[in-house]
Amino acid sequence: MTMVKKANRSTNKRFPDTFRYVFLALWAKDLDPDSVTKALGIEPDSSCRRGLIRGRDGKVIKDKRGRPKRTSAGEWIIEEHAHGNSGFENRIKSIIQKLEPKKTALRRLLKKVNAVLIIVVQPHEELYTRSIFLPASILNEFTSLGIDIEFRVDNPQKWAEFWRKIEKKSGKASQKKRVTLQKKKGSQK
């Protein structure tokens, strides 16, 4: 085990990440998710065609203003299904295991569609830096197919600030409702 791995393990135990998430996304302007599923023989965790975005129940998903959400490309996504405390290496390996028997079909698909492996982490708020060690052999599983890798690091302080604003707004909204209800009750007397 390298010194980097040892250092990461000790830091991760004392200051575990707030969350970790890994997924593989295929997309193209006119991607048909059903044809990708058929070609690979793997059910996606989520998918959509270009146009309206629908939930698993088939209903159109709407934005906060009540308008139907749209996407400019079709998408087909598989997620890792590793244990909640698993490191990134195990999470990525779970995707590799799904794809391993389907590499030939995937290579054919990748001539027509785009693909990216997305690795997301929100480090513990007490950490100033967070390093992630991934063996070259694991990264090569994707890069040898022409799949790019994207790392996303979420800032825990910004997320905490965001949620405080949401709570503050929802508190003001419920306070306004109480005042309005009180006024209505007062005028009915």
Nearest residue to 120 via CA among 96, 154, 87:
154
The rounded Cα 85 to chain-centroid distance in angstroms is: 17
User: Residue 175: exposed, middle, or buried by beta-carbon count in 10 A (0-12, 13-18, 19+)?
Assistant: exposed
More confident residue, 127 or 138: 138
CB-CB contact of 4 with 89 (8 Å) = no
More confident residue, 16 or 41: 41
Is residue 51 predicted with pLDDT exceeding 80?
yes
* Inter-axis angle of helices 88-99 and 136-143, nearest 10: 40
pLDDT in tens, 53-79: 777 677 888 888 888 888 889 999 999
Is residue 42 predicted with pLDDT exceeding 70?
yes
Distance CA 67, CA 137 (A): 45
Distance CA 75, CA 53 (A): 10
pLDDT in tens, 88-128: 888 899 999 999 999 999 999 999 999 999 988 877 777 77
Q: H/E element holding 74? A: strand 74-79
Nearest residue to 76 via CA among 119, 109, 104, 121:
109
pLDDT level of residue 177 (50, 70, 90 thresholds): low
pTM here is 0.69
